[in-house]
Amino acid sequence: MKQSLVVVLAGLLGSAGVLAQDSRRDDRARPTRKPGESRQGGESARERMVRRFDAASPRLGEPLPDVSGFTVDGEPLSLKALKGDYKVLVFGCLT
């Protein structure tokens, strides 16, 4: 009876030591990051979004694509129809 109790206790202690080593190994493997930083070279999600937006935006002097939408009254409107006129475009939800 005493031998089996010693074997069981030794087994429990041995498995606890292995678990402790595994958790320490996991802590060393995880890189520490500041809040807002991503894994891609320390670039934050906001910086990535701004970079992608700037890359997709038309360049200065480049003609705008033909954009179409609706006026406040619900009439269709295209950017091509406004050529030569000075207009203020307000984007967003009007409801």
78: CB partners within 8 A, 6+ apart: 66, 67, 68, 69
pLDDT tens digit sequence for 31-46: 666 665 556 667 888 8
Rounded CA separation 63/27 (Å): 53
Phi, psi of 29 (to 5 degrees): -75, -25
Rounded CA separation 31/47 (Å): 20
pLDDT tens digit sequence for 59-78: 888 887 888 888 888 999 88
CB-CB contact of 69 with 77 (8 Å): yes
Task: Name the percent of the chain lying above pLDDT 70.
Answer: 54
Domain boundaries defined on the chain:
1-30
Q: How confident is the model at residue 49 (pLDDT cuts 50, 70, 90)?
A: very high
